[in-house]
Amino acid sequence: MSRGPAAVTEPAEERPSPRERRHLARREQILTVAWELARRDGVTGISLRELADRVDLRQPSLYSYFPSKADLYDAMFAEGFQELVDEREQMVLDSDPGVALRQGCRHFVEFCTRDPVRYQLLFQHSIPGFAPSEASMEISRRALGFLQDWLEAAGVTGPVGLDLMRAMLLGVAGEQIANEPGGSRWTRFTDDLVGAAVEIARRRETAPRSSRNHRKGRSRA
């Protein structure tokens, strides 16, 4: 009597030890308080001494969680972009690609204006000398991939549409944050600007190369 193929046993997922769980929980606590301090004092105004005091650690012990202030900023950068990825994964968009693009863009502008300090850290490069790690940048690229997919579904391909849309959305969010926090003076134009950006991108992508080069030369002047 023949036997069937032997069942493949998946290796059991290694669970973190109690010590590792405590370390992760304290790390999350530190990040939560770091965001609170950033929202109070600005992203560049985080005091590591106060941060350590607020989480009941001596300052040298803080370095076992974040070896430097840059490492703390990097973790905040990754966490901010992960929040954007998580929210985008939960979105239910319209079946019409054009409508879905506008929905996604409205959500992004709302995401930015909802938390100005997070916007500053993720999109304004406001910390002198800080450069996100490759792992954190990969999360940001995942977030950007949603916008690229929405544009392509709406018939906008190539780098022009992506660059134009990013510039427009970040500009709208920045104007709203800087001039009327919590309002809608600039964000109310998001749908109109998305439509305009799509049309411009389509014209630029279909224009003859000589025409594109001519315009590029004039813009440099």
58-105 pLDDT tens trace: 999 999 999 999 999 999 999 999 999 999 999 999 999 999 999 999
Report pLDDT for 5.
53
Q: How confident is the model at residue 7 (pLDDT cuts 50, 70, 90)?
A: low
User: Would you list the domain boundaries of the chain?
Assistant: 17-67, 70-220
Q: Is the pLDDT of residue 130 over 50?
A: yes
Task: Please determine whether the domains at 17-67 and 70-220 fall in the same fold group of CATH.
Answer: no
User: Which pLDDT tens digit goes with each residue over 41-56?
Assistant: 999 999 999 999 999 9
Residue 165 CB coordination number (10 Å): 25
Residue 71 CB coordination number (10 Å): 13
Q: Is the pLDDT of residue 10 over 80?
A: no
User: What does the mean pLDDT of the chain come to?
Assistant: 89
Closest Cα to residue 22, out of 65, 79, 77? 65
Q: How long a stretch of residues is the chain?
A: 221
Structure-block tokens of residue 80: 């901010």
pTM across the whole model: 0.85
Q: How confident is the model at residue 2 (pLDDT cuts 50, 70, 90)?
A: very low
- Identify whether the C-beta of residue 136 lies closer than 8 Å to the C-beta of residue 142: no
- How far, in Å, CA of 48 to CA of 37, rounded? 10
Weakest mean pLDDT among 28-32, 49-53, 129-133, 216-220? 216-220
CATH number of 70-220: 1.10.357
Interval 109-124 mean pLDDT: 97
CA distance readout (Å), 198 to 43, 115, 151, 208: 34, 27, 8, 18
* Residue 214: CA count within 13 A, CB half-sphere: 5
Report pLDDT for 125.
87
Q: Considering the domain delimited by 17-67, tell me its CATH architecture.
A: Orthogonal Bundle (1.10)
- How far, in Å, CA of 201 to CA of 195, rounded? 10
Q: How confident is the model at residue 215 (pLDDT cuts 50, 70, 90)?
A: very low
Interval 12-20 mean pLDDT: 75
DSSP string of 145-213?
HHHHHHHHHTT--SHHHHHHHHHHHHHHHHHHHHHSTT--TTGGGHHHHHHHHHHHHHHHHHS-HHHHH
Report pLDDT for 126.
87
